[in-house]
């Protein structure tokens, strides 16, 4: 091969951004087109440095906006390359139009989204507003809780997206600063082992295959548009989930690290459960264990795969639980939290009827402390004892001023 390999220690102390950049290097991504934005900048900066230091045989394309970044990624992916980029917040918002283009064109791009609040007011810190903005875009969405996950999920994302039965793009989400700028031990793969998991990219319907000419970016009006969208949704609903399970299993065989579409912790006999995403999952796991020493049977349920939404697996995870708190780290904009709605929809169709209450927390990077979570579990336990939700359905955690509660 024409590029150099990098010696890594078995455990490196990396932040989430560096972990993602190293994964892009080890996957030998052909093209990264990027317009850097805080807090995701070090991912594409890392790729560019690896590329210019001859650790990657690929191309880094500088563009004039995030809209152009994803547009260039679409062009490179349609041409037949393995393609990735990264963004956050306002940049993600500017990319939205092209996100629908890439999924509709069935291009297996991997987008690292370092979750950050959306302005106004301007804020560079982590919440899930941008992640939620992507949830109807037809992409697969993976969620990392720590730098190790951010590393691993990039390999998994390429493997799922590039499968010829899938051919849908993936986002790998990590929490801005709380994961992206937090250095922790990351168990690495050497370059050969890492690359062998994703393997050589085999494009499908690539424009540079002149023997088999194809058209990309077509127009369909009412005669065909609905069928395209319905088939894309059908593949998300039926083909992607089993493929993700298979890739998770292959990854466990490859590395010993196990991922599940719905992650459950201490749920075997749990009475009360907290549902959340991102770094909060790990903090909550720690608090759940501590609650158990106080006699409260506490558990945690989290999504590893946000889209396609693992509806049946959520029902399974909550089948014996009595009360659930659903945490949303995004301004709800005049409605219940998005995850609250989705968990309620899944549990409405389930056989049991747990008490479900929703909480908005952590906007703009506001700290979710262990003390908050202790109060939360105690509140759930009170709901169980009362046999009903004793509070309003939507509350706010950690916001100053008079207590806010709705519904």
Partner 1 sequence: MLEIRWHSRAGQGAVTGAKGLADVISTTGKHVQAFAFYGSAKRGAAMTAYNRVADEVIMNHEKYMKPDYVFVIDPALAITTDVTINHKDTTKYIITTHLSTEELVKAQPKLEGKEVYTVDCITIAVETIGRPIPNTPMLGAFMKISGMYDIEFFKENMKRVLAKLPQKIVDANMIAIQRAYDEVK
Q: Which residues bind partner 1 (CB under 8 A)?
A: 11, 13, 15, 39, 122, 124-125, 146, 175, 177-178, 181-185, 279-280, 282-283, 285-286, 367-371
Distances (CA, A) of 46 to 53, 152, 287: 10, 17, 35
Smallest distance from partner 1 to CB 39, Å: 8
Smallest distance from partner 1 to CB 10, Å: 10
CA distance 323 to 301: 12
Smallest distance from partner 1 to CB 362, Å: 11
- The closest of 87, 115, 262 to 179, measured between CA atoms, is 115
Residues in a beta bridge with 11: 187
Burial class (CB in 10 A: 0-12, 13-18, 19+), 130: buried
CA distance 153 to 180: 14
CA distance 275 to 313: 13
Smallest distance from partner 1 to CB 101, Å: 32
199 torsion bin: left (phi>0), alpha (psi -120 to 50), beta (else): left
Distances (CA, A) of 146 to 65, 177, 264, 306, 330: 28, 11, 16, 16, 19
Q: Could you give the dihedral angle defined by the CA atoms of residues 330, 336, 342 and 346, in that order, rounded to the nearest 10 degrees?
A: 150
Smallest distance from partner 1 to CB 185, Å: 5
Minimum CB distance to partner 1 smaller for 63 or for 183: 183
- The closest of 386, 361, 366, 381 to 123, measured between CA atoms, is 366
Minimum CB distance to partner 1 smaller for 126 or for 337: 126
Minimum CB distance to partner 1 smaller for 38 or for 112: 38
Smallest distance from partner 1 to CB 369, Å: 5
Smallest distance from partner 1 to CB 94, Å: 19
The DSSP letter of residue 339 is H
Smallest distance from partner 1 to CB 12, Å: 8
Structural tokens at position 237: 């609903």
Q: Which residues contact 357 (CB under 8 A, 6 or more apart)?
A: 323, 324, 325, 326, 379, 380, 383, 389, 391, 393, 394, 395
Minimum CB distance to partner 1 smaller for 14 or for 92: 14
Minimum CB distance to partner 1 smaller for 15 or for 328: 15
Specify the residue for token string 């500088």. Answer: 62
């Amino acid at each position: 091969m024409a590029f150099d390999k990098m010696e890594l220690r078995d455990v490196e102390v990396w932040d989430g951004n560096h972990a993602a950049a190293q994964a892009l290097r080890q996957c030998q991504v052909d093209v990264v087109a990027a317009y850097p934005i805080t807090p995701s900048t070090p991912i594409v900066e890392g790729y560019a440095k690896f590329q210019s230091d001859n650790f990657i045989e690929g191309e880094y394309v500088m563009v004039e906006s995030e809209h152009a970044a994803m547009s260039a990624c679409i062009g490179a992916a349609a041409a037949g390359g393995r393609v990735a980029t990264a963004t956050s917040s306002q940049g993600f918002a500017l990319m939205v139009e092209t996100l629908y283009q890439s999924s509709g064109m069935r291009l297996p791009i991997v987008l690292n989204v370092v979750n950050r609040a959306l302005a106004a007011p301007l804020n560079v810190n982590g919440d899930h507003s941008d992640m939620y903005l992507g949830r109807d875009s037809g992409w697969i969405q993976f969620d990392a809780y720590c730098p190790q996950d951010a590393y691993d999920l990039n390999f998994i994302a390429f493997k799922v997206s590039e499968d010829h039965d899938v051919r849908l793009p993936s986002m790998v989400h990590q929490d801005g600063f709380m994961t992206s700028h937090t250095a922790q031990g990351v168990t690495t793969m050497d370059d050969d082992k890492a690359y062998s998991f994703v393997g050589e990219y085999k494009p499908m319907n690539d424009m540079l295959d002149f023997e088999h000419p194809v058209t990309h970016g077509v127009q369909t009006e009412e005669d065909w548009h609905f069928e395209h969208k319905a088939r894309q949704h059908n593949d998300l609903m039926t083909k992607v989930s089993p493929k993700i399970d298979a890739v998770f299993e292959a990854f466990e065989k490859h590395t010993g690290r196990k991922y599940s579409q719905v992650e459950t912790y201490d749920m075997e006999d749990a009475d009360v459960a907290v549902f959340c995403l991102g770094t909060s999952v790990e903090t909550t796991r720690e608090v759940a264990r501590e609650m158990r020493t106080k006699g409260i049977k506490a558990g945690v349920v989290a999504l590893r795969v946000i889209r396609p939404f693992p509806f049946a697996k959520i029902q399974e995870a909550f089948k014996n639980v009595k009360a659930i708190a659903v945490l949303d780290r995004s301004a709800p904009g005049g409605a219940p939290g998005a995850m609250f709605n989705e968990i309620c929809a899944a549990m409405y169709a389930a056989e049991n009827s747990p008490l479900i209450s929703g909480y908005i927390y952590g906007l703009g990077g506001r700290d979710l402390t262990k003390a908050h979570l202790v109060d939360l579990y105690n509140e759930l336990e009170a709901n169980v004892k009362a046999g009903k939700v004793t509070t309003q359905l939507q509350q706010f955690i950690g916001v100053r001023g008079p207590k806010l509660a709705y519904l």
